[in-house]
Structure 1
């Protein structure tokens, strides 16, 4: 499980928007995964199974925090954006891309983040999101199209998304 620690933390961080809470969700998710190893299907891929457990734990923490009157999930995801110093080091195109992603809906942000930032396969995304691979493909296509439109509208030009 050690080799999945970084990607599991990133998934939890995308969902919770808080590094400490993401760390807790990752740790609890790993504990739950170890406890559930007996129910793991041998023919199923391990990584998406583990990431789904971590993602569910992170979602539970977000729901719990929401009951305590915190901001919406999309604001927490946006808060994962790099600091101003980090942005200064990035190229103008990267800044425009990140800003465009922030303007997308929560669902679009999530699917774009899973595919392009976390580099999950469509199959892994389908397992994580608990939906058919075809649904992932269509959501990703629509999100990419909306991102392209957002970039073109704001900047007037786009190389490739």
Structure 2
């Protein structure tokens, strides 16, 4: 598809946009763009289109695009000096509860979810970024490294430190899926 775009096929690029728009938007919101997320995504797709000539053949498009989105989101957050609100984070991550879940369990689950998101939001920027990419966007280590422009070892070490800070900062344990083998 990249070859078709490079050859001038606008419909091929429109298809790339359709395939990656949702994850690009989630990435922008989770990395701090907040209300500017749609602008960040649009700017990112324009920049990606203009930079497509430098895209390495055989590389994965998604991490390359998400790195552009991540940079644009950081720029937007710095320019606007606004922190994303808990409402935006919850809206981006809100999952529908199972229909058979009782209200008390649902309330406790939402409280824990809000506390976890608040704790992630309180991390330093590098730690917040690595946790967001790895666990909230469900990227693997290699994709996280590509999106953030860091070596894989840096991703591992910052993730380890971020999870340790989350564990000490939360009364509840970090979700088991986030432990990454750490105890």
| TM-score normalised per structure 2 | 0.69
How far has the Cα of 1:159 moved from its partner?
Answer: 6.6
1:54 maps to 2:54: no
- From the superposition, tell whether residues 82 and 158 of structure 1 become closer, same or farther in structure 2 (CA, over 3 Å): closer
How far has the Cα of 1:143 moved from its partner?
Answer: 0.8
Gaps of 5+ in 2: 1-15, 96-102
The residue that corresponds to 2:117 in the other structure is: 98
Could you tell me how far apart the structure 1 residues matched to 2:89 and 2:47 are?
29
The residue that corresponds to 2:7 in the other structure is: none
SS at match of 1:54: helix
Residue-pair matches, total: 148
4+ residue segments displaced more than 6 Å: none
1:110 maps to 2:129: yes
Could you tell me how far apart the structure 1 residues matched to 2:175 and 2:62 are?
33
* Match of residue 55, structure 2, among 34, 40, 44: 40
| RMSD value, Cα | 2.6
| Aligned 1:146-161 pairs, distance under 5 A | 146-151=165-170, 154-155=171-172, 160=176, 161=179
How far has the Cα of 1:116 moved from its partner?
Answer: 0.8
RCO (CA 8 Å, sep 6+): is it higher in 1 or 2?
Answer: 1
Could you tell me how far apart the structure 1 residues matched to 2:174 and 2:150 are?
31
How far has the Cα of 1:41 moved from its partner?
Answer: 0.2
